[in-house]
Structure formats: structure tokens, C-alpha cells
Structure 1
Amino acid sequence: MPTITKKPPHVLVVPFPQTGHLVPHLDLTHQILLRGATVTVLVTPQNSPYLDPLRSLHSPETFKTLILPFPSHPLIPSGVETLQQLPLQALPHMFEALSRLHDPLVDFLSRQPPSDLPDVILGNSFLSPWINKVADAFSIKSICFLPINAHSINTMWGQDLEVRSFFDELETCTTESYGLVINTFYELEPEFVESVKTHYMTHHRVWTVGPLLPFKVGANRGEKSSIPPQKVSAWLDSCPEDNSVVYIAFGSQIRLTAEQAMALAAALEKSSVRFIWTVRDAAKKVNSDIDNSDVIPLGFEERVKEKGLVIRGWAPQTMILEHRAVGSFLTHLGWGSVLEGMVGGVLLLAWPMQADHFYNSTLMVDKLRAAILVGENRDYVPDSDELARVLAESVKGDSPERVRLMKLREKGMEAVKGGGSSYNDLDDLVVEMCLK
């Protein structure tokens, strides 16, 4: 019979170094700290700055860091320690490099007195093949975290993918772990949450804890902004009408081709809408001659300077989406962006491009009818006239999709309040961590 220990749990957090995974994992870490746990976060040196907001909020007695050198890999350029610095084709190399943290972590834990060992490893599911081995070696629990929704898990684990061998291992190691935490809320997709419990995590230890929110009001959830957030906020404040700005961002991995960027720029000019457009820096080359940088057409910024703001690199996305001036969001439909757009109460204009974007589109566009599909696939080039029409319409009143999204937002915000489903699951998760 499991018993609850008297002391709070000590949790070793091992995030995956890509912003769409790392940021919500740290938001989850904050919630666990608020519930009395002691936490140690394992990162490599270049990812340590992501922890600064948590360091500023929690005492060094309860929030600790373990910094291990990033393992070298012949196909990852020196100095690169995050996936967003690389093209997505480098994902297998990143998995291989990170798996080499197994031995240094085992060595570190072997040198700790038994009283200092963690009770639980809360690791990203992508890392579960080697994290589970570490946990087994020290007889501690391994709980997996995935920053995606239950519909995506059912789809990803339930279909014949080209990379089936990898997902077979991921699915097996995740289902063999003690439990699974996902960044969704039960009321959004109850049938898919129940399906994960029934078909995959058959012990039913699945905790839905979303939407995971920034742990500081106005916090920048990622890298430093290339334009000071105060300047972005002032620009938005200067917009006279609420819900009049289109925000455009395609996440940390997507970079538009020159043809796509030209079509989008032309649509923005034709639509005459106010906008903020975030473009990414070039990725490091990994055996590729592809130019991975977004290309802004020559003269575009000068022509639209009265109506538009172009941000190169990182942008304070949550602050932008929650500003009263922003009315719609042209997005790749990464799950973190979906939740941030939902919390901000903006109309989602969906352009899914790869991976789970398509599963998110099925959920948000087809099943929940809370987003509008405007494009699909990496090679899609929009018709600038049609896209201009969609952009202009997106900031005119409440579309049926936005009305539905606002109802989902209300359910999501209720879920994270005291007594809500996600709040209670977070409480239950920490209690479960105390069980021996």
C-alpha cells in the first residue's frame, strides 16, 4: 500500500531544449514549486538563462540547477544547444546528443547521499528512452511531460508514420513510465484524454495541467526580444481601435521561403490592416544548402511603417496576444501558440506546416471549429489577394470561430483556477510524487 512521505518531494526536471517544449516545462515546474516541492532542473550551459525568471521567484533552497556540458556531436555545430538553432532535419542528431547525458547524470546521482536523491524525474517524453534507465538505476519514479494535446497523442501513437520506429520507442517508454503530464485541459477534449488513459497509459496516471500560463505577469517566455517589449507595448498602445491588429508568427522552427514571404507581405499591404510580423533568424547549417532565414521584401518595411511592425528574432508573444489591440493571430498552429492565442482571446488563422501542426488543425479547425484554415504545408504559397481578404475580415467583429474560441478560453481559465480540473490535477500530481 503506497504511503505519503512527510517531506515534500524532490523533483529532478529534465526538459527538452526547444522553446515549444522548454518554456511550458518550466511553467509546470513553477506550479510544482508553488505546491511545496523541491526542484532541481538539468540544463546545459546555454539553456541556463531560461531559468532566470524561476531563480528570481524561488529560494535557492527549493529551486536548484544542475548544469551539465552539452555532449558533442559531429553533426551539430559547436555552441549550438537548442533545436531552434537548427533545421528540423537535425532532430535525430539532437536526440542522439542528448542521450549522451545519461552517463554524466548517473555519475552525478551516484555521488549524492541517499537523502539528496530525487524522488521523481519529470522529464520530457522525447528523452524517456534514457531517462527511464536512469530512474530504474536509482529506483525512483519517471514521469513524462508532453507539451501537446491528447488528440495529438492519440493520432501520433495510433497511425502508421514514416518515423514509426522512433515513435514506437517513444510510445513504449512513455507508457512504461509512472505517468504522463500533458499541457491541455480536460474540458477541451475529454474523449481524447480518456482515450489516452484507456489505450496507452492503462494505469490511468495522466494529468492534464493546461493551459500552463506565464509565471510572471507580462513575462517573456523564451529568449530576449529583439525589440524591447516596452517599445512593442507602446506601439500597440498607440493603436486607436481594439482587436484591430493582426499578429503573425510561425514559431521557433519555421522559416518562410522568399516566395511565401513575398506573398504574405503583398497580402499585408493589400489588406491595409495593422500588423506585427515576427521573422526568425537563420538556422545553423547542418549538411544543408537551404537558406533557412525569412526574407522580407526590399522596401516593404518602409512602405508599411505607419501600419506595421517587423520584429526580427524573438518577440514577447504572450504580451502581444493579450494586448487589447490584437484581434487575430496568423500561426503555424504549434500547440503552445494555440494555447497562448486562446488565452489572449484572438481569432486563430491557421497555417499548419509540419509535425503536430496538422493534428492541432484537425482538433481546432475541424472538430472544435474554433480556428480558420488559411493554408497548409511547408511549400504552400498563399494567393495574396485571398489572404488579404482573410486578414482584413479577421479584425472585423466576432466571427463564429472566435466566439467558439472565447467559450473554450473561459473553460480553460476555469480549469486553472482553484477547484478547476487542471488545478486539481496539479495538486494530485504532487501528492502522487510523495507516494512511496
Structure 2
Amino acid sequence: MADDQLHVVMFPFFAFGHVSPFIQLSNKLSSHGVRISFFTIPGFIPRIQNLLIPSPTTQIVPLQLPPSLGFPPNIAGTFDFPSSVSPKFVVAIDLIQPQVKALLSELKPDFVLLDFAQNWLPSLASELGIKTMLFSVFSGIANAYLLAPGRLTGIEGPPSVDDLRRPPQGFPKRFGRNNVNVADSSSDLIKTFEAQNILFVYKSKISENASIYDRFQGGLSGSTAVVIKSCFEMEGPYLDFMKSQLNKPFIVTGPLVPQPPSEKLDAKWDKWLAQFPSKSVIFCSFGSEAVLNQEQIREVALGLELTGLPFLLVLHFPAKVNAKTELEHALPIGFFERTKDMGIVHVGWVPQQLILRHNSVGCYLCHAGFSSLIEGLVNDCQLVLLPLQGDQFFNSMLMCENGIMKAGIEVNRRDRDGYFGKEDIFAAVQTIMTEIEKEPGKSIRSNQKKWHKFLQEKDVQEKYISDMISEMKKILVDNPFVD
């Protein structure tokens, strides 16, 4: 190992939506010669091994969850349990502090990249002469709206729904939703049901009686630097706003475009997709952990049927839930018979990247997870967005309507409770799939093409990673630990 080779420990929260960006960043850094030690629980190791690019300087380090919490030995993160159990993973992270300290003492990395939950890690690592960087896996706009240090300035006590409908002071004024220009912090920017959903970030008291926001701020204040998974081309105003709130190095990774998969699509999927014309199939998936209720499943499925286009609808259900029974209650009698030649409803994992790359897939209806949006654009799919929780609302705002990127369309939903019907699904898909450009370069499709092309520019992505490594080396020189 070269004397100047950086060694970085990756320590994400135990949910795959958090693990995945840490994997993507690990692959980018390791390709530039950075040594990676990836902390995770045993149940995640097979998936991580499959996605990490093999390298003699990359290793996976297993962490053992405390037996006292009652987790099975091979639990694969939050997806194996209902969302109500997720706080137990935060408790588990707190309880493994001695284990983490012993590993860091042995590995002696230059940096640890931590997630929102490990607010105790900066001080622990500092005792060992190790620097820490908080890696937020959320988009710049979500960080700026939800997690900026000044978010609760001027708010007495826990925030209300009305408080959260208004952006923080200084939030970029130019961009909004439904053609709203955010003139000042008194303007409502998000819908009522969205504000109700994100209340948990501030009110859910988990381990040590601290909310998600509290723990994020603890990690933020204690870390040497902050890392955001984004790029200035896509989110410049929001990243500038977030940077203005911090008095420490602010590092942007770039969009972390995933490597093209080396394997081929399974014959069963390829055969089914290949029977349809180019760019005609709707691929509909809401991530590995989002669970739709029966009414939402019904309206999505019936909306897809109304389009008359071929579709692949992928659903997930919590562990120990009978998926067949759920579908029987959610879908009307005769749905499968009516759509048997044009549609598939699949429960469980699918090779998403390979499906999105297939020539027949033209539309991606998804939950607006930031990584999913990048995958959809990279694979030249039209984007229809149905955000379900948290940061997804802001990702959709960025991508659609009056946002910066204007490369997708959001499903219309009722303000007070987020209800959407089959007609809303149909209208969004029909608009994006039949759009005719009235003014050159001004359509959603032309913007989608622009961002598709941008994400193919490897030199841009490589520069972000090179700059990140240079900044890390500079931090080590400018801020050495003194024994």
C-alpha cells in the first residue's frame, strides 16, 4: 500500500436505501486507489458483495447486533421488519459503540464516513485520531429543506405542519412547485400531507430521546466535513444554501452514476419485454422498502391498465405478510385476466438496472428516490413520479414542474391526505408518453434528453471524485491531530 493511499471506513445506517449510496461512493473512490473498509451487518453482506467492485484494497467488515434486541442473526436491515421496528436499529447502533471503537483502533483509517444515526461517532473517532465526515445520502434540496442547521430557527418547540409547509429562511427563492415563486419564508411550498409525513424527522424520539433531526445535527456539528451525494449542475442553489449554513469543508460527490451491470437480463424477463415495441413498456417500482396500502395498489394498477400500454408493476410487502392475500384484496376481480397479455404484477426483487436498460422500457413510474431518478435518466426513461415519504417529495419537486431539472412529471395528489386515483396515474403517464414539443428545447422530453446526456459524461463524474480525494488529503494536512 502506498504511503499516501487514503483509507476510508464506510458506516451506513442499516437500511438498503442508505447502504446503496455508500456502495456507489465506495466504488468511485476505490477506482481512484482509495482503500475501503465497509461496515455492515451480516445479512447485508451478500448484496454488498454483489455490488462492490472487487478490489484487493476493499473489504467488508461485519458488525454483530446485540443479542439483547432479539434480531435474527442474518437480518437484512429494516426491510425484514415493519417500519415501527426501525428505531431498534438506531438503538442497536448505539449499543455497538465498543465494537466499533475496537475495529477502528485496529484498522486506523484516515476517515470514517458516517450516516445520520451515528451522532456519537465523531467524538469516539477523534479520541483515536481519526477524522469523520457526515455523508448525507439525501439530495441537496432535501438536505436544504429538512436538515439545514437553521431549519428550526424562529420555531418554538416541535414544528407544526404549518411550520413545515414553509421553507427555512434563506431557502432559494427561484424554484417552487405549481409555478409558485418562493418570495419569502412565509410562502407554503409543500402540501399538507407531505408536511404531516415529514413531521417524524423532528418528533420521533428514538434512542437517547433524540429525533432524527437531532441526531443528524449532532453528527453534523461533530464531523470534520460534510459530504452530499449530488452535483452543482443539478442542484446548485440548494447546495450553495446548505454550504452557507456550515462552517466546515463541504464536499459534493457528483451524481454517483452506477456502473453498467456486467450480467445479462434473465431470459424470462428479456423474452417478455422483447415482445413489445421500443420504449413502450411502463416499469413501475417503488424501491425496496416502500409498501403501498391496498387502496394505493388498486389505483396504481387500474391506472396502468387505463393507459393501454404494457406494464411491469413491482410490489414489496413486509416480512410475514401474505402477498397473495394482499393482492386479492387490493385488485378488483378480473384484473389479472384483463391484463394477462399486457401486464405483469411481480412481488419481490427484480434486476432493476437491467430492466431499465431494456430497449422496450420507455417509462419509469417510481417513488422519486434520488438513486432511482439517476438510474431512470441514465437509461433514457421518461419519469413519472409518485413520491411516498420524506426526501422523495423534494426530489420530485427538483425533477418536475417548476423545479430546476424539469425532466419528469408528478402524479397529482390531494393536498390534505395525498389521495390519488387511477385517473391521476393515467393522466401523468399519458402526458409524458404522448408529449409533443411545442417549443424547441422546452419540453419535458428535451430536458430528460439533456440530463441523460449529462449523466453519460464520465469526465464530469471523475472530476467530482478527484476533487473529493484532493479535499480529503488537504484536510489531513491542514488539520492534523496533535498527540
TM over 0.5: yes
Question: Which of 100, 119, 138 is equivalent to 1:129?
Answer: 119
* TM-score, L = length of structure 1: 0.84
Is 2:181 the partner of 1:146? no
CA contact (8 A) 1:142 1:177 kept: yes
Report the CA distance shift for 1:155/1:50 in structure 2 as closer, same or farther (over 3 A): same
For residues 51-90 of structure 1, the aligned pairs below 5 Å read 51-53=48-50, 57-59=54-56, 62-72=57-67, 74=69, 79-90=74-85
Question: Which of 442, 445, 451 is equivalent to 1:408?
Answer: 451
Is 2:430 the partner of 1:392? yes
Kindly state the Cα deviation for residue 187 of structure 1 after the two structures are TM-superposed.
0.6
Kindly state the Cα deviation for residue 99 of structure 1 after the two structures are TM-superposed.
1.9
Report the CA distance shift for 1:78/1:292 in structure 2 as closer, same or farther (over 3 A): farther
Q: Where in structure 2 are there 5+ consecutive unaligned residues?
A: 153-158, 160-198, 203-209, 438-442
Per-residue CA shift, 1:110-168, capped at 9, x if unaligned? 4x3xxx411111222x1331321331221111112122211111101244454435213
User: 2:432 corresponds to which letter in structure 1?
Assistant: S
CA contact (8 A) 2:301 2:313 kept: no
CA contact (8 A) 2:255 2:461 kept: no
Is 2:359 the partner of 1:312? no
User: 2:403 corresponds to which letter in structure 1?
Assistant: K
Q: Which has the higher contact order (CA 8 A, sep 6+)?
A: 1
CA contact (8 A) 1:13 1:122 kept: yes
Per-residue CA shift, 1:247-294, capped at 9, x if unaligned? 111112221222221222222222211111111032468xxxxx9966
Is 2:398 the partner of 1:363? yes
Question: Which of 368, 371, 388 is equivalent to 1:336?
Answer: 371
User: 1:336 corresponds to which letter in structure 2?
Assistant: S
Equivalent residue, structure 1, for 2:167: none
CA contact (8 A) 1:245 1:275 kept: yes
Kindly state the Cα deviation for residue 49 of structure 1 after the two structures are TM-superposed.
0.8
- Match of 1:189, SS state, is helix
2: CA distance, partners of 1:181 / 1:272: 44
- Match of 2:227, SS state, is strand
1: CA distance, partners of 2:459 / 2:215: 36
Question: Which of 235, 253, 278 is equivalent to 1:209?
Answer: 253
Equivalent residue, structure 2, for 1:254: 290
For residues 168-317 of structure 1, the aligned pairs below 5 Å read 168-200=214-246, 202-203=247-248, 205-218=249-262, 229-240=266-277, 242-283=278-319, 297=331, 299-317=334-352
Report the CA distance shift for 1:45/1:386 in structure 2 as closer, same or farther (over 3 A): closer
CA contact (8 A) 1:12 1:42 kept: yes
Per-residue CA shift, 1:350-409, capped at 9, x if unaligned? 212211112222222232232212144896443323433433343235662232232233
Report the CA distance shift for 1:74/1:424 in structure 2 as closer, same or farther (over 3 A): closer
- Match of 1:58, SS state, is coil
Kindly state the Cα deviation for residue 17 of structure 1 after the two structures are TM-superposed.
2.0
CA contact (8 A) 2:119 2:219 kept: yes
Report the CA distance shift for 1:293/1:214 in structure 2 as closer, same or farther (over 3 A): farther
Percent identity over paired residues: 25
1: CA distance, partners of 2:325 / 2:397: 27
Question: Which of 419, 428, 431 is equivalent to 2:470?
Answer: 428
CA contact (8 A) 2:39 2:61 kept: yes
Kindly state the Cα deviation for residue 323 of structure 1 after the two structures are TM-superposed.
2.4
CA contact (8 A) 2:82 2:318 kept: no
Kindly state the Cα deviation for residue 433 of structure 1 after the two structures are TM-superposed.
6.9
Aligned length: 411
Equivalent residue, structure 2, for 1:225: none
Is 2:94 the partner of 1:96? no
CA contact (8 A) 2:258 2:375 kept: no
2: CA distance, partners of 1:429 / 1:11: 14
CA contact (8 A) 1:8 1:434 kept: no
Report the CA distance shift for 1:53/1:79 in structure 2 as closer, same or farther (over 3 A): closer
- Match of 2:84, SS state, is helix
- Match of 1:264, SS state, is helix
Report the CA distance shift for 1:230/1:144 in structure 2 as closer, same or farther (over 3 A): farther
Equivalent residue, structure 2, for 1:13: 10
CA contact (8 A) 1:256 1:293 kept: no
1: CA distance, partners of 2:124 / 2:430: 53
2: CA distance, partners of 1:207 / 1:109: 23
